[in-house]
C-alpha cells in the first residue's frame, strides 16, 4: 500500500536529474561520488561537464591527478576526487569488480546505487534520505521505490521539519506532525584545520606561496591523502 502511494506521488514529483537519464555504470558512479556531502544543485551543474571531459574510466585514469583535483574544486572534500581517480585507474586496468566496494572510495551505499540505477539489480540503496523515510514510516519498500524514496526524503521528509502536509505517506505515518532536533552539529570551519588544508591546497594549485608553510602538518596531511 505505502509503496504504491509513494510511486503514484513520484510520477509527478520526480526530480529531473541528468544522471537519471543514463544507465552507464561509470556515469552513475561519478554522480554518486559527487553527491556525497555535496548539494544536488551543485552536482547538477558540474556533472555534465565532468562527463564530457572524462566520459570513461580510462579517460579519467589517463588524466593528471592535479587536473582532476582542480576540476573537483567546489564539490567538497578533495579526497573524493583522488579516490575517484584511483577507482578509474582500477577499472581501466582490470574491469569492474564483482564487488564494487573493492573500488577506492566506494562504500556499501554507492555500490548499491550503481547496482540499482545502472545495472537494474534488485537492491535498495539506503542513503541518509532513504534511511530517514524508512525509520519514520516503518513501512517496507522494494528496489523499484529507490528513486521515489530519495526524492521524498530530499524534498518532503526533511531532517528537522518534515513537510507532512505534502507527504503521500502521512495518513499512516507514526511520525506525522513531529519535528526533530539536528542529529549532529558540524564543527566550525572558520579557523579550523580543514580550512587551513583548503587554503594550502588552493595556493599550491594556483602557484601562490603556501600561507601555512610554517605548519608542516597541513601539507603533510594533504600529501597523505594524495592531494599533493
Name the residues annotated as catalytic: 32
Q: Grid coordinates representing 165?
A: 502536509
- Distance, in Å, from the CA atom of 150 to the CA atom of 119, rounded to the nearest integer, reads 18
Of residues 168, 170, 117, 162, the one with CA closest to residue 143: 117
Of residues 97, 50, 101, 42, the one with CA closest to residue 74: 42
Report the alpha-carbon angle 74-16-155, nearest 5: 75
- Distance, in Å, from the CA atom of 206 to the CA atom of 199, rounded to the nearest integer, reads 11
| Cβ(26)–Cβ(59) below 8 Å | no
Give the DSSP letter of residue 164: G
String of DSSP letters for 7-39: HHHHHHH----GGGG---HHHHHHHHHHHTTS-
Q: Mapping DSSP to helix (H, G, I), strand (E, B) and coil, where does residue 180 land? A: coil
Largest distance between two CA atoms of the chain: 62
* Count of C-beta atoms within a 10 Å radius of residue 54: 22
Amino acid at each position: 500500500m505505502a509503496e504504491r502511494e509513494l510511486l503514484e506521488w513520484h510520477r509527478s514529483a520526480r526530480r529531473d536529474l541528468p544522471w537519471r537519464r543514463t544507465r552507464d555504470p561509470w556515469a552513475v558512479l561519478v554522480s554518486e561520488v559527487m553527491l556525497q556531502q555535496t548539494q544536488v544543485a551543485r552536482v547538477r551543474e558540474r556533472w555534465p561537464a565532468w562527463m564530457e571531459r572524462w566520459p570513461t574510466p580510462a579517460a579519467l585514469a589517463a588524466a593528471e591527478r592535479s587536473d582532476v583535483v582542480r576540476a573537483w574544486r567546489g564539490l567538497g572534500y578533495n579526497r573524493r576526487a583522488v579516490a575517484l581517480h584511483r577507482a578509474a585507474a582500477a577499472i581501466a586496468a582490470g574491469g569492474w569488480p564483482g564487488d564494487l566496494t573493492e573500488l577506492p572510495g566506494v562504500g556499501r551505499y554507492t555500490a548499491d546505487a550503481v547496482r540499482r540505477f545502472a545495472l537494474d539489480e534488485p537492491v535498495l540503496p539506503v542513503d541518509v534520505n532513504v534511511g530517514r523515510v524508512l525509520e519514520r514510516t516503518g513501512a517496507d519498500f522494494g528496489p523499484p521505490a529507490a528513486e521515489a524514496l530519495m526524492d521524498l526524503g530530499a524534498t518532503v521528509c526533511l531532517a528537522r521539519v518534515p513537510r507532512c502536509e505534502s507527504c503521500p505517506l502521512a495518513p499512516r505515518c507514526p511520525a506525522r506532525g513531529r519535528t526533530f532536533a539536528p542529529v549532529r552539529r558540524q564543527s566550525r570551519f572558520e579557523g579550523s584545520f580543514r580550512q587551513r588544508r583548503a587554503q594550502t591546497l588552493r595556493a599550491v594549485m594556483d602557484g601562490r606561496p603556501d600561507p601555512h608553510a610554517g605548519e608542516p602538518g597541513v601539507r603533510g596531511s594533504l600529501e597523505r591523502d594524495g592531494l599533493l
